[in-house]
Chain A
Amino acid sequence: MGKALLKGLLLTLRHFFRKPETIPYPEVKRPVPERFRGRPVLLSGDDGQPLCVACGLCERVCPSLCIAVIPESGEDGVRRLGSYRLDLSRCSFCGFCVEACPVGAIRMGGDYELAVYRKEELIMDAEGLQRETVKRETGPGRG
């Protein structure tokens, strides 16, 4: 009995000196795979503004109707983004919006920590959607 106990303890002791298999989440984040579909991200241009031209195709294609794009006229009279709203509580992370986007202004991001205290925080505007905390090891083709 004592021998069996020692054998077990030895196994445990051996693991103290090995490289750990777990990571100290949340201090350390797990990297996400290349084709991971996390929270959608609006890509920004050099001026920090979203690349989105407010064509509304993502809104049209979205199967869970969680996107609302409101366009406005820019100074040059061309359509530009007025406001962008994405309701994460309804988003099914299908990625259709990314496929539909004619200008590559949206992609599926790496963020997966989406827990919030209030549901309202899940309704995100353009500014919130432009931020991304989890970086991928290698990004997908777009972005």
Chain B
Amino acid sequence: MYVKLKINGIETTVPKGGTILAAAKAASVYIPTLCHDPRVAPTGACRLCVVEDRRRPGQLIPSCFTPARDGMDIVTDSPVVTAAIREQLKLILINHPLDCPVCDKAGECVLQELVIRYGIVEAPYTLEAPFRPVDRESPLIERDMTRCVLCGRCVRICAELQGKGELEFMRRGYGTYVDTDGSRALDCDFCGLCISACPVGALTDKLFKNTTRPWKLERRETACLHCGLDCRIYLNMEGEILRRVTAPPDKDGAEELLCVRGRFGWRAAAGAVRRPPGPWLRDARGRRDATWEEALDFASRRLAEIAGERGGGAVAVLTADLLTTEEAAVARGFFRTFLGSHDIASLQAAGYRRLMDQLDRMLPSPPPPASQEDLLAADVLLVLGGGAAEWHPVLKPLINRYRQGEGKELIVISSWPDYLFERATLPVAVAPGHLEGFMAELQAALEGREVASGLDASRRGIDVGRLARLVSLLQGQGEIAVLVVPDLYARGDARAALAASLHHRVQRILPLGGQFNSRGALSAGFASPRDFQDILADIEMGRIRSLYLIGEDPLEDFPDPQRVRAALSRLDLLICQAPYATTAAEAAHVFLPTVLPWEKEGSVLAVTGQRRHLRKVMTAPPGARGDGEILEELRRMMGDPPANLPGRVAAVGETGSSGSPAAPPPGSPAATAAGGRGFPEDRTSEANAVGAEAPSPAFPFLLVPVPSLFGDGLVSRQSPELAGLKGGLGVVMNNDDFAALNLKDRETVWVATPYGAAPARVRALARIRPGTALLLHAPGNPEGLSLLRSDVAAVPAAIGRKEAP
């Protein structure tokens, strides 16, 4: 259904329900706006978008929220309209300081442009300025409300899209201003959507503040590094200096969405302190800086020796998915085909790779790419596992957009109250440790199989009514899309199985938790059923003698760093190839500094399946080289493939036959399928049966490590801003538990588990199940990691003020 109308004499059409403003845009007619943001619902606060209908002269219509009607004959530039706009601008200027010379918005300020466009040179009205707060204390976002024009864009975008409602109108009438409750500093997601929405300089980016001017910036498009959604971003460069990150407009001209990592985490790539100037070696004489030739010569010689002596199977590889797809193909060729290594695993993307690997094996065809539009088009969105919006924070505004649709259902099955869980139309809470069991039973029940214990809802702490609704929605007519969310460290195998079992009824299955180019790495053939847990056991047993780290750090990204450190010290060769000198770099025999994706060219594949080609947008540090370049050089230096390799023959055979990911080496699948048999601690595999150990009197809480909004990945951790927002290890408890322990908000407490103890900052949340505590920001924190064990979704813990036992 379309509406036909005339704008300034131009015939145009707009879908029924569309506004006059939308019609004018379609007709390429300019209408001034200040409070209009296409991303949120219109409100008509600024009255600058007034137009006139020729059939009713003199009557001014706000075009941004008046629906177009058939036969309208709109004029946007009649003397009445222009005079009204000019008058309105003068009224707005009463309470807007003329501090453009020192305002960061100058040059991209909507009000400034309008004042110039309409030639307002005099300020005829003067009134005493009302009270307006100025907040320079909040991190990252500065609020100078004296500049505010009360358009309400920040208030609406924060509530509607980010779902936080951090900013609100205070007081009434002439005294109105925008502030947080109680005029405190901001304590929100710091997504910066309010900054992107503010038409004037009332909300500004503190990192950008007083550094340059917008007209000096060149925008270079690339993809965000901080998660696998690969959001499009503009790097705002002044020469070769990165000044800020903004979102490009989407196809409708509205600015795209970004999260805190994308908007404020860019200093991880520009000016990070841990980027070393060149390679180094560590041998009997100690650590010394080396030239690239020396370092590569050493690495290639030692790799050839180890692969020659013990076979390619003695070399294992860990890759963070910062490689471009082309580089991933080079890496696969080098390690799988040339060296004959079986193990290419990942730490940060371990959960994602495992999900994809399982789906690959269980689905008749690979899961089709699910774009953001596909998700929005579904009627039922089923989220398996907690932490979807914490892995990928841009899902917050996307899911809020989804929820605005009519009759949309959001089902979240999670053991902790994550962001989506709290906004779900059907939240299904499962006790920590029971999630896997519940999903396995649910799958069996949906398939009509007998469940041994019945769907014993009460035992797992599940509301029976909700369960019935869940089943009826899953068996209903609505189109279903499934988001599968991995745990931080545990292998959540049942959720992939459940998703796969629904495939005939489900439009899209989207596994989450991927890193920058995780999907691209899988498409290049990195898939492997073995993860670092298996590799670690093999290192301890002496089967693996060499570990090649590409952007990964097992000392920072795997539970139990002491065990990892002991294992690493048994290696004959540890090569660390990474953009940053992290903890493992200090222990490595060879360190090779690499460039970041912004500093190289190549294609990436987002977890949504969207392929993008990225240009080089920043100059690389002088001492760093590309990952692909390094591996090709190593291969060239090694000459022939290392001879007499028992593993190599098999590897060539299996990879040569097809482009599909290599099958696991003989002997290993059985060991891995059992979920880490051969693991030194039997307790862990026992615990795996329920996913968590039971609390005991000494350790009354269940501690669940969860992903952080501010980024757990290696790149996110290099950003001083994101690290500052995290504020170290954090623990979130139920309100009653918190009160019973008589704790203060953000007080430092000791968290102890059977494996270790660490100080953490405590916060309370009402919706957490009593007896459960969430552990935040453990990745990258050795003390935090020492509390945990891999493959366990939750560990028993004690929390208290006292020193740890």
Residues on A close to B: CB < 8 A? 53-57, 59-60, 71-73, 77-80, 102-103
Q: Tell me the complex Cα distance, A30–B212, Å.
A: 41
Beyond A79-B210, A103-B101, 13 extra complex contacts between A and B, CB < 8 Å: A53-B101, A54-B102, A55-B106, A55-B213, A56-B216, A57-B101, A60-B215, A71-B210, A71-B211, A77-B136, A77-B209, A79-B101, A102-B100
Residues of A within 8 A of B210 (CB): 54, 71-73, 79-80
- In the complex formed, the residue of B with least CB distance to A52 is B101
Q: Tell me the complex Cα distance, A57–B107, Å.
A: 10
Decide yes or no whether B104 CB sits under 8 A from chain A.
Answer: yes
Decide yes or no whether B142 CB sits under 8 A from chain A.
Answer: yes
* CB contact list, B382-422 vs A, under 8 A: none
Residues of B within 8 A of A72 (CB): 210
Residue interface bits B215-246, CB-to-A below 8 A is 1, else 0? 11000000000000000000000000000000
Across the interface, do A77 and B102 meet the contact criterion of CB distance under 8 Å? no
- In the complex formed, the residue of A with least CB distance to B215 is A60
Across the interface, do A60 and B102 meet the contact criterion of CB distance under 8 Å? no
Q: Tell me the complex Cα distance, A110–B102, Å.
A: 29
Whole-angstrom distance between the Cβ of B186 and the nearest chain A Cβ: 15
- In the complex formed, the residue of A with least CB distance to B134 is A77
Q: Tell me the complex Cα distance, A102–B112, Å.
A: 14
Residues of A within 8 A of B216 (CB): 56
Q: Tell me the complex Cα distance, A77–B136, Å.
A: 7
Picked from A53, A77, A80, the residue with its CB within 8 Å of the CB of B142 is A77
Residues of B within 8 A of A53 (CB): 101-102
Residue interface bits B194-211, CB-to-A below 8 A is 1, else 0? 000000000000000111
Residues of A within 8 A of B101 (CB): 53, 55, 57, 79, 102-103
Q: Tell me the complex Cα distance, A135–B418, Å.
A: 71
Residues of B within 8 A of A102 (CB): 100-101
Q: Tell me the complex Cα distance, A1–B598, Å.
A: 90
Residues of B within 8 A of A56 (CB): 212-213, 216
- In the complex formed, the residue of B with least CB distance to A60 is B215
Residue interface bits B126-137, CB-to-A below 8 A is 1, else 0? 000000000010
Residues of A within 8 A of B212 (CB): 56, 71
Residues of B within 8 A of A59 (CB): 213
Residues of B within 8 A of A78 (CB): 102
List, sorted by A's number, 26 A–B pairs whose CB atoms are closer than 8 Å: A53-B101, A53-B102, A54-B102, A55-B100, A55-B101, A55-B102, A55-B106, A56-B216, A57-B101, A60-B213, A60-B215, A71-B210, A71-B211, A71-B212, A72-B210, A73-B210, A77-B136, A77-B142, A78-B102, A79-B101, A79-B102, A79-B103, A79-B104, A79-B209, A102-B101, A103-B101
3 closest cross-chain pairs (CB), A and B: A55-B101, A79-B102, A79-B210
- In the complex formed, the residue of B with least CB distance to A57 is B101
Whole-angstrom distance between the Cβ of B132 and the nearest chain A Cβ: 15
Residues of B within 8 A of A79 (CB): 101-104, 209-210
Q: Tell me the complex Cα distance, A55–B216, Å.
A: 12
Residue interface bits B431-457, CB-to-A below 8 A is 1, else 0? 000000000000000000000000000
Residues of B within 8 A of A103 (CB): 101
Q: Tell me the complex Cα distance, A56–B106, Å.
A: 10
Q: Tell me the complex Cα distance, A72–B211, Å.
A: 6
Residues of A within 8 A of B136 (CB): 77
Residue interface bits B111-148, CB-to-A below 8 A is 1, else 0? 00000000000000000000000001000001000000
Q: Tell me the complex Cα distance, A55–B136, Å.
A: 20
- In the complex formed, the residue of A with least CB distance to B214 is A56
Q: Tell me the complex Cα distance, A56–B104, Å.
A: 11
Residues of A within 8 A of B106 (CB): 55
Among B102, B103, B106, chain A packs the most CB atoms within 10 A around the CB of: B102
